[in-house]
Structure 1
């Protein structure tokens, strides 16, 4: 697409403007001088932020909400019979799905940087954004989770650099044409859409071929390497644990602790010492990926290492919610076996008396396709408690149930409500234990419920 609609319109209407993917775009477009209106069905903190810019937001979806908009943007969750979309079509106003608008917005920057991969995108995007801020590069950013440093999942910068999280689901990342891409890993996921792992690799290859300057790729991940084979349009730089990569860790802390200390090394040259606060080897890899991209973009090693040492994580990424009666309560977004293995392995190394994993299986297709892998990952903690499978966008044509997963993890239990789970784990957990909720759905509500119940018990 050679023409960019953003060159020809000034007035935009966002259907579902409070969404985590919509709000950041609205902020950046507003800053760039576009006139925005929006609608949503739920009040939220993000809507308060949107309104604070003077952007009018209507509650509920009605045809008249689109006003004199010249383009209407909507989320993938928005039904085609939404009255605002219907009104736009009737008036001949262009309608764009969120990921399409993100691609067009990214093209308004000379240096879009896109972070992709099956796991670790949000954390790495956040790390890279913080490094570029501290390195004086003043980036704009759109991140999949709330960054404590910003108190938001977006940033409005004043440079030509924009950092975006690039999601592969239904090939939305193919709307992007980055100057710089990061490919963290490629794993079997979203098979409801991709069908095969080969198809996932092909999509990442297409994404890499749309990158114009630099690709930072995990040199330890065979599928990621396969995705950049034959790519000649951009320079390829590798990162990983092995010294065969361009960027890798040396002098790692050998003590069995959850947090990683290492020397960031580039072609044998020690760039600096990194002492991570966020736990786990997976976060060390995320940090090295962010460091590699930032270093290639010209940030000093000093700024890279000091920023990574202060990075406290992202909302719902091993987020500690509090300690009550000696029991720590935390929440994590992990919903794929690889992510669960990383998080639970870290949790088991943190010195807790016992780890209580509370897991919400996310989609029937993923649970069915990766059942054995889930069972293996969920056997890591001392105790496993589960919810019923969260359907999301699916019907259960696989005939899969949480009981099928529980049968493969001895001693595990499951319940049909967050209330029952909260009561059960609070009755069982002892001082020194960790209660960790896990999942990509609304399991965080269970964590919040546990916190509320503990607070209510306090004298």
Structure 2
């Protein structure tokens, strides 16, 4: 297909928004739509190309329909999607669009893993940027120094966060891959840890001839098509980012950079000045002496590591955690792990809000209040809505308290709500 008209559905999503922007910059005529016209991921300069809602009227003159995979999951009979198929318009998820139309001819560096892949991707891209490699990059979160979730480069290098969910990363054939770790997650698709390992094995088998694979310390996969490297010792970089997990991410990024013959000075300086990603231990503001942070963690292991880092950063302060579980299936499968993590967490107060359904439907079999009843040894409370939660925090917090909001749903809205209510507090 020549550079023709491409319409993006679900353009506000963390990945689809970046694919939309890269398509526009690559010379495609693009349009987009989503249920809401604004999104924390969507480039504000491109909102003029976005329509609200889904409609078959969006398909006039369209040659290719690219969609967020969440759309067919949530709405199998979506009129816009089914209408495109009936009209003979080719449809594909945004990952496949990248693989077919944007990545060919590029040197693809793909970073995957259960935890830390976004930060590691951005770290590698930042090092390449500093070393004048001028990479294109796509991350599933806004990179603080870019103010968006993508970077448009002019070279052959393309650095990509590759998502293992539903084995979506199998559309790519990387020249270079990093696997941070392998863990059981996404129980709505993967049945057990063995099925997760099988997916990563397929991903590694997709590597190109002459490729390089970098394994995290707990990953034991072998690249059948080239070199295999392994992180043996986590380096003690003096990072701006808290937590040992970020030192692991930085160490993997350093191995990748060295494999591309980038100088040690550039690697060290870039990593130690790296500002991080949005929603990854992100400082949102201070009001009335209360510090508010936000994080994307949803898996028990991620929650545990982030809360340890929070306590290390603030050893003597009262710490509040506000957690929004993400998907019913994840809470159900890891219920016991969530209970243990919260009971053992180094925080003082825990608030749980309603589960964010995402791609799932509420069957009434599990709730956040179920989790509250099982957590002992901690001051824990269930509050259903974000607005009520913000009001409660504003009422009961005091100078010096630290608030950490956490989850992958719409809880990203809560920090600003808290700060606003605190500012109105007399």
Relative to the length of structure 2, the TM-score reads: 0.92
- Residue 18 of structure 1 and its aligned partner are, at CA, apart by 3.5
- Residue 415 of structure 1 and its aligned partner are, at CA, apart by 1.1
SS at match of 2:317: coil
1:64 maps to which residue?
57
2:187 to 191, 205, 227: 191
2:168 maps to which residue?
172
**Aligned counterparts of 1:17 and 1:353: Cα–Cα separation in 2:** 40
After the TM superposition, which residues 205-220 of structure 1 pair with which residues of structure 2 at under 5 Å, given as runs? 205-212=201-208, 213-219=211-217
**Aligned counterparts of 1:399 and 1:370: Cα–Cα separation in 2:** 14
2:7 to 13, 16, 27: 13
- Residue 27 of structure 1 and its aligned partner are, at CA, apart by 2.3
The verdict on how the C-alpha distance between 1:204 and 1:404 changes in structure 2, with shifts beyond 3 A counting, is same
1:409 to 353, 376, 381: 376
2:278 to 297, 315, 329: 315
Q: Deviation digits for residues 119-160 of structure 1, max 9, x if unmatched? A: 111111111111110011100011111111111101110111
Are 1:358 and 2:322 an aligned pair? Answer: yes
After the TM superposition, which residues 172-321 of structure 1 pair with which residues of structure 2 at under 5 Å, given as runs? 172-212=168-208, 213-219=211-217, 221=218, 224-225=219-220, 228-229=221-222, 231-239=223-231, 245=232, 248-249=234-235, 262=236, 274-321=237-284
**Aligned counterparts of 2:213 and 2:376: Cα–Cα separation in 1:** 40
The verdict on how the C-alpha distance between 1:187 and 1:453 changes in structure 2, with shifts beyond 3 A counting, is same
* Maintained 8 Å contact 1:364/1:398: no
Larger relative CO (CA 8 A, sep 6+): 1 or 2? Answer: 2
**Aligned counterparts of 2:224 and 2:20: Cα–Cα separation in 1:** 35
- Residue 396 of structure 1 and its aligned partner are, at CA, apart by 4.6
The verdict on how the C-alpha distance between 1:396 and 1:90 changes in structure 2, with shifts beyond 3 A counting, is closer
Q: Deviation digits for residues 52-102 of structure 1, max 9, x if unmatched? A: 7xxx44443332322222211111122343333233223212111222213
1:369 to 319, 333, 337: 333
1:335 maps to which residue?
298
**Aligned counterparts of 1:359 and 1:345: Cα–Cα separation in 2:** 15
The verdict on how the C-alpha distance between 1:288 and 1:150 changes in structure 2, with shifts beyond 3 A counting, is same
**Aligned counterparts of 1:210 and 1:331: Cα–Cα separation in 2:** 35
**Aligned counterparts of 1:430 and 1:51: Cα–Cα separation in 2:** 39
- Residue 216 of structure 1 and its aligned partner are, at CA, apart by 0.8
Q: Deviation digits for residues 142-190 of structure 1, max 9, x if unmatched? A: 1111111111101110111111111111111111111111100111111
**Aligned counterparts of 1:35 and 1:400: Cα–Cα separation in 2:** 45
1:324 to 272, 277, 287: 287
* Maintained 8 Å contact 2:26/2:102: no
* Maintained 8 Å contact 2:37/2:47: no
1:253 maps to which residue?
none
**Aligned counterparts of 2:376 and 2:241: Cα–Cα separation in 1:** 28
1:430 maps to which residue?
398
* Maintained 8 Å contact 1:125/1:143: yes
**Aligned counterparts of 2:350 and 2:404: Cα–Cα separation in 1:** 10
2:422 maps to which residue?
454
Unaligned runs of 5+ in 1: 1-5, 240-244, 250-261, 263-273
* Maintained 8 Å contact 1:278/1:312: yes
The verdict on how the C-alpha distance between 1:60 and 1:424 changes in structure 2, with shifts beyond 3 A counting, is closer
2:66 to 58, 70, 73: 73
Are 1:385 and 2:379 an aligned pair? Answer: no
1:33 maps to which residue?
27
Moved over 4 A (4+): none
Q: Deviation digits for residues 276-303 of structure 1, max 9, x if unmatched? A: 0000000000111111111112221111
**Aligned counterparts of 1:438 and 1:58: Cα–Cα separation in 2:** 30
**Aligned counterparts of 1:62 and 1:412: Cα–Cα separation in 2:** 44
1:265 maps to which residue?
none
* Maintained 8 Å contact 2:288/2:423: no
SS at match of 1:457: coil
1:115 maps to which residue?
111
The verdict on how the C-alpha distance between 1:146 and 1:11 changes in structure 2, with shifts beyond 3 A counting, is same
**Aligned counterparts of 1:300 and 1:163: Cα–Cα separation in 2:** 19
**Aligned counterparts of 1:318 and 1:117: Cα–Cα separation in 2:** 19
> Is 125-134 or 21-30 further displaced after alignment?
21-30
- Residue 439 of structure 1 and its aligned partner are, at CA, apart by 0.9
* Maintained 8 Å contact 1:368/1:398: no
**Aligned counterparts of 1:57 and 1:74: Cα–Cα separation in 2:** 13
* Maintained 8 Å contact 2:64/2:91: yes
**Aligned counterparts of 2:170 and 2:66: Cα–Cα separation in 1:** 18
Aligned residues: 414
* Maintained 8 Å contact 1:13/1:71: yes
Are 1:441 and 2:419 an aligned pair? Answer: no
